[in-house]
Structure 1
Amino acid sequence: MRTELVSEPGDTTRPNEDFAAVGLPASGQGGCVIVLDGVTPPGGGTGCAHSVPWFTARLGGALTELTVSGRDLTLPEVLERAIRRTADAHAGTCDLSHPRTPQATVVLTRWSAASVEYLVLSDSVLLVQGPGGTVTLLQDDRLDRLPRAALATDALIDTHLRNKEGGFFTAAADPSVAARAVTGTLPRHEVRALVALTDGATRWTEKFREGDWTALFDLVAKEGARSLVDRVRELEAADRTERTFLGRGKTHDDATAVFVEL
C-alpha cells in the first residue's frame, strides 16, 4: 500500500486551517483517510474564543479516533459523534449558535477487505480510481448549484444558506448535519486508489482549468501530491495581478492532497 499526504498553508504567516490524517490499519483491518478544510471567517466576530485551527484539530482528532476504532459505526454516525464531542469541548465558553462558529468541510473514507465507505460534506472532494483506470468524482455539489446572486455577500450567505435547508452544510456545532453528507459504499475490488482534496488543491481543475479530474488524479499518482500543490502555487502567483481565474478569491488558499493506493 502506498500513501502520500501533503498539506500546505496558503500564507506561511498564518496557521494552516486544513487537517488531514491517514489511519492504518483501522481496528486491525483496512484503513481510513480524514480531510478537513477549515472555513476562514470574514472580518467580525464568530462567537467563539477559539481559532479555526483549534476546531479542525479537535474535530479531526475525534474523527480519526472514531473512524479507526469504531468499525461498528457508520461514517455519518462517526461524524455526528465527532461534532458533538467537539461542540461539548467549548459549549461552556462560546456561542455555538453563531453562523460563523468554527466549521469545516469534510471528506471521510474507510476501507476493509470487502468495501470502501465514503462521506463528503461541502466542497472538499474525493476521487476514486477503478481497476480499469476510470476516475470517479465523489462530491457534495450543493454549494456549486446555488445561484451566484445568492452568494453575493457574507451576510446573505449566513442568513439564508449556511447550514440551512436549501443552502449548504458544513461540520460546525450541530451534529445533525452529519445526516446531510453525501455517502456511499463501493466494493473493495472496484477501487484501486483514492485522492482526497481540499478546494485549495482542486484549484488546478476547478479554478485554473489545467485538466479534468482524471488528469488531476494522474498528476498526483505519477508525480505526487507535492507536485500538484506546487503547480497550484505557480498558477496562483501568475494570476496574482490579472486575476483572470481567481477573481475575488484569495490569492493563495490552504491546500491539502492525500493519495492512497489500496
Structure 2
Amino acid sequence: MRISYETVAAPGRPHNEDHVIAGPTWVAVLDGATAPAGVDSGCEHDVPWLVAQLGSALTHRLATRPGESLPDLVAAAIRATMAAHADTCDLTDPDSPSSTMAVLRRRDDLVDYLVLCDSPIALRRTDGTLTVVDDDRTGHLPGGRPYSLDLVRRSRNRPGGFWVASTEPEAAYEALSGSVEASTVSGALLLTDGVTRLMEWYGHPWEQLVDTAATDGPGELIRWVRREEQGRGAPSFAKRHDDATAAWISW
C-alpha cells in the first residue's frame, strides 16, 4: 500500500481537531466535534486530546490484532479512551467530546472499511467506477438545519439519530462497515467533512475529487476547498472554514 495524506487546521484556528493515523496496511482519519460556545462538556480535556487518544488506541489495536473486525477494534478503542478519563470527567454528560472515524485496512485478499459519522470513504474500483461509503445520518435529522443543541443531544448515539465515537462503544457496531475483494480496488480516498464540502456545497463530483487526489495528491484537495471557501463562502448554518483532512491510498 502507498499512503499519502495531509491535514490542516482551519485558517485562524490554533488547533487542528482532525487526526490521521497510518501503518503498513491501514489508515484512519478522525474529525473531532467542536463544542458550541458556552457548552460544558463535563470533560476537562479538549477535542484534540480526544482524537489523539482514540487514534492512539486504534493504532495499537490495528497493529497488534490484525485478525479482529474493524467494529471490534473501534469499540475497543472507544473503551480504552473512556478509561483514560473516566476518573476525571463525567462520561454521562450528553455533550461529551466526540469524533468521527473512517478506517481502511488491507487484510490478505480483502479491503476492510468502516465509516462512523460523516467522514466518508470512496473506493476506486478497477473497472473505473466508484463505491462511496458515506454515513450521512447527521444530514437527516428532523426539522432541517440549523439543528438545535437539544436535538443533537437527543439524537447522538441513539437509534433513529446518528452514531459517533464518544462514550458509547456500541456505536462502533452501528458504523457502515464491510469488506471487498482487494483485486477489485485500485485506490481509496478518506476525507473529513472539511473537504467533502467540495462535493456537498460546491457541486464537484466524487470522481473529480478522487482523480485530483490520485494525480496531484490529497493536499491539492485542501488547497482547492480553501479557494472555494474564499470565493463562494459557506451556507448560513455552517462555519466558513473547517479543519480539513484527506488521505489517498493506492496499491
Q: SS at 1:144's partner residue? A: helix
**Equivalent residue in structure 1 for 2:222, among 226, 229, 233:** 229
Q: How does 1:1-262 map to 2 (within 5 A)?
A: 1-24=1-24, 31-43=25-37, 44-149=39-144, 152-158=147-153, 160-209=154-203, 211-240=204-233, 245-262=234-251
Post-superposition offset of 1:144: 2.4
Q: Does the CA contact (< 8 Å) of 2:145 and 2:237 recur in 1? A: no
The size of the alignment, in residue pairs, is 250
CA RMSD of aligned residues (A): 1.4
Post-superposition offset of 1:137: 0.4
Letter paired with 1:198 = T
Letter paired with 2:67 = D
Letter paired with 2:8 = E
Letter paired with 1:254 = D
Q: Can you list the C-alpha shifts for 1:184-207, whole angstroms capped at 9, x where unaligned?
A: 010110111011000001111111
Where structure 1 has 5 or more consecutive residues not aligned to the other structure, the ranges are 25-30
Post-superposition offset of 1:98: 1.1
Question: Normalization by structure 2: what TM-score?
Answer: 0.95
Structure 2: distance between partners of 1:48 and 1:9: 22
Question: Normalization by structure 1: what TM-score?
Answer: 0.91
Post-superposition offset of 1:110: 0.8
Q: Does the CA contact (< 8 Å) of 2:43 and 2:89 recur in 1? A: yes
Post-superposition offset of 1:147: 3.1
Provide the residue aligned with 1:28 in structure 2: none
Structure 2: distance between partners of 1:239 and 1:68: 42
Structure 2: distance between partners of 1:199 and 1:172: 18
Structure 1: distance between partners of 2:80 and 2:30: 16
Letter paired with 1:206 = E
Structure 1: distance between partners of 2:107 and 2:185: 11
Structure 1: distance between partners of 2:111 and 2:139: 26
Q: Can you list the C-alpha shifts for 1:227-248, whole angstroms capped at 9, x where unaligned?
A: 11001001111234xxxx4322
Q: SS at 1:258's partner residue? A: strand
Letter paired with 1:33 = V
